[in-house]
Chain A
Amino acid sequence: MTDTPRLELIDVHKSFGTKVVLDGLNLSLAKGESVVVIGGSGTGKSVMLKCILGLLQPDQGQIRIDGEDTVDLRGAARERVLTKFGMLFQSAALFDSLTVWENVAFGLIEGAGMEREQARAIAIDKLSKVGMGEDMAEADPAGLSGGMRKRVGLARAIATEPDIIFFDEPTTGLDPIMGDVINNLITECVQDLGATTLTISHDMSSARTIADRVAMLYNGKIIWAGAVDQIDDCDNAFVDQFIHGREEGPFALEVT
């Protein structure tokens, strides 16, 4: 079956106590597709990613990877699914106790059990793909700027050449130029690998660069999804307000 979606979320619910975060979320990514999910802060975008990665357990619903429901997978079965994933965390989440190259090679050495020498060579290669020279390999991640950390995080996310890569707000906290650099790196790397990507963002220029398709998360559901070139003339008032960053609109009623 060629049309099995690579990743499919079906009616996913997640609450923390009485606070409903995801409320019947449906989303589907075809193989090789790049989808950007947009939405305001605190709408549950990171929670959605953490549910897919198995870091959080959804209360209800299915998360299918290549057709297989993964919600209840644990231990070795979960690790097998995780080998298909790469993830760039919002804060890059580099390991402070390791050097830059050891961070990039971590999934190869600890996850895939590769020899350090070989893993180091691959890490250096991935670092060059994100524009970082071999001289940075031994650096301490704590001393890097935000943009540099994101690049190392990106190199780490692509190091194992995963099928599906997640980017959690890849440009948030960066200046517009560095943001553009990261966006372009993401598109290049993804094209190289032919990977499927799911990106979270509230940065519209980022969405326009990366996305084939855009989906808008609001009140725990995807309220609009469509090709990136439809976004400007879509008739959804929420999307319209969001992409133009207007104060007036349906969102304004709920600002607390």
Chain B
Amino acid sequence: MNNPLAVIGRFFLAFLATFGRLSIFTGKSVSAIVMPPFYWRLCLQQMMTIGYYSLPVVGMTALFTGAVLALQIYLGSARFGAESAVPNIVVVGLTRELGPVLAGLMLGGRVGAAIAAELGTMKVTEQLDALITLQTNPFRYLVVPRLVAATITTPILVLIADIIGVMGGYLVGIHRLGFNSTVYLKNTFDFMETMDVASGLVKAAVFGFLIALMGCYHGFNSKGGAQGVGRATTDAVVSSLILILIANYFVTEAFFSQ
């Protein structure tokens, strides 16, 4: 029973099976993107639900992250008399790392869960079967609009988050840390490079894709009534958060030498 080799073997087999299923699902989804018809109306609708309605959550996260970053960096850099670096470090930290990652994590919770719950309910109430019998491919009708919408809107959200985050740092810098407004802004924009923002936006696109993919995958594979939908939702959130952190490392690595 508890033979460690058997446990490892079972775990490995389960991992391979899941990996295989997920690869097939991803392949079907991506090939459905390029095959007509493309449902523009559904895609725009998803951009609204995923993007627009996530603005408050992402905005609040960014505002307070920028603010606390300014405080912490001020304390840290004061130890070697480098307080003036606050604006520079805030903007780099936000655009390269904290903006996309925190927005990704918030969206993983909000959007990943919503997609998995909706598609999971459709699955267990036979709505997916009904779609197929009405000659509509569920990948094209349900998965593609969500994947495309999430991949496009997450970078836009992150760009907004970057701006709000810098503003949060700026407000703390001016009112709490005694920076001069013009100097703070000048330091921010002089120091920031296109690559900082660009790498953050590439990350955001990858995270958006992963969130929607996990939501759709777990939704489509949910079974057994309300409980199954609940489990699918949890799985979608947990797996998208972990994948975001893993992908974050690899995208950072890819941009590292540039």
Contacts and interface: CB of A to CB of B under 8 A. Distances in A.
A95 B127 contact: yes
A94 B125 CA distance: 9
B133 A85 contact: yes
Contacts of B130: 87, 89, 93-95
Contacts, number: 49
A111 B136 CA distance: 6
A39 interface: no
Interface in A98-126: 106-107, 110-111
Interface string B126-145: 11011111111000010000
A87 B135 contact: no
A91 B132 CA distance: 16
Interface of B: 121-122, 125-127, 129-136, 141
A70 interface: no
A195 interface: no
Contacts of B127: 93-96
A79 B129 contact: no
Interface residues of A, number: 21
B134 A55 contact: no
Contact of A50 (B121, B129, B131): B129
Given A89-B126, A93-B125, A93-B127, A106 B132 contact: no
A9 interface: no
A110 B133 contact: no
Contacts of B133: 53, 55, 82, 85, 87
Given A93-B127, A110-B136, 12 more contacts: A53-B129, A55-B132, A55-B133, A82-B132, A82-B133, A82-B134, A82-B135, A83-B135, A90-B126, A91-B125, A95-B131, A106-B136
A102 to B, nearest CB: 12
B126 A110 contact: no
Judged by DSSP, the binding face of B is: helix
Interface of A: 50, 53-55, 79, 82-83, 85, 87, 89-91, 93-96, 106-107, 110-111, 156
Contacts of A96: 121-122, 127
B132 to A, nearest CB: 6
B129 A110 contact: no
Contact of B141 (A53, A89, A107, A110): A110
Contact of A111 (B125, B126, B129, B135): B135
A146 to B, nearest CB: 13
Nearest to B129: A55
A96 B132 CA distance: 16
Contacts of A82: 132-135
Contact of A79 (B121, B125, B135, B141): B135
B126 A93 contact: yes
A23 to B, nearest CB: 23
A141 B75 CA distance: 58
B134 A106 contact: yes
Contacts of B129: 50, 53, 55, 89, 93
A156 B134 CA distance: 9
9 contacts: A50-B129, A79-B135, A91-B126, A93-B126, A95-B127, A95-B130, A106-B134, A107-B135, A111-B136
A110 B135 contact: yes
Contacts of A106: 134, 136
A106 B130 CA distance: 10
- Which A-B residue pairs are the 9 nearest by beta carbons? A111-B135, A93-B126, A93-B130, A107-B134, A79-B135, A110-B136, A89-B126, A87-B133, A93-B127
A110 B125 contact: no
Nearest to A108: B134
